[in-house]
Amino acid sequence: MDTLVDEWLTLPDVAERLGTDVGKVRRLLQEDKLVGVRQGERRILSVPARFLAPTAEGGWEVVASLQGTLVLLRDAGFSEEETIAWLFTPDPSLESLGTGATRPSTPIDALRAGHKTEIRRRAQALAL
């Protein structure tokens, strides 16, 4: 999975970026607004950094369209590891969604670029 995800954040790191506490981050995980897996030798619960996006005000927020996609993948029977792998696996067919330098190459890139309908359609097709 480390070959797919370029940066991982521990829960305290996520809390710091979001300007909240670790308890709130744990609730985000419980409510399927985020997903994380245990990483490294010490098996520390970590979240992919690209699940967070910068705000116009200079802060950070969870990618707005992530939750619905996570729910669809969970309903399709995906584990946390499988969910992250699917979101970060390159898919050349997604490049048609963008223009110029903003062509998404993975489902998470497409979500971050605002293409939630197409990504959710693909996630829902996995459940069939």
Q: Where are the domains of the chain?
A: 8-127
Tell whether pTM > 0.85: yes
User: How many Cβ atoms from other residues are within 10 Å of residue 18's Cβ?
Assistant: 17
Distance linking the first and last C-alpha atoms of the chain: 25
The greatest distance separating any two alpha carbons of the chain, rounded to the nearest whole angstrom, comes to 41
The amino acid that residue 54 corresponds to is P
What are residue 74's phi and psi, to 5 degrees? -65, -45
Per-residue pLDDT of the chain (128 residues; tens, 9 = 90+): 778 999 999 999 999 999 999 999 999 999 999 999 998 778 899 999 999 999 999 999 999 999 999 999 999 999 999 999 999 999 988 878 866 667 888 999 999 999 999 999 998 888 76
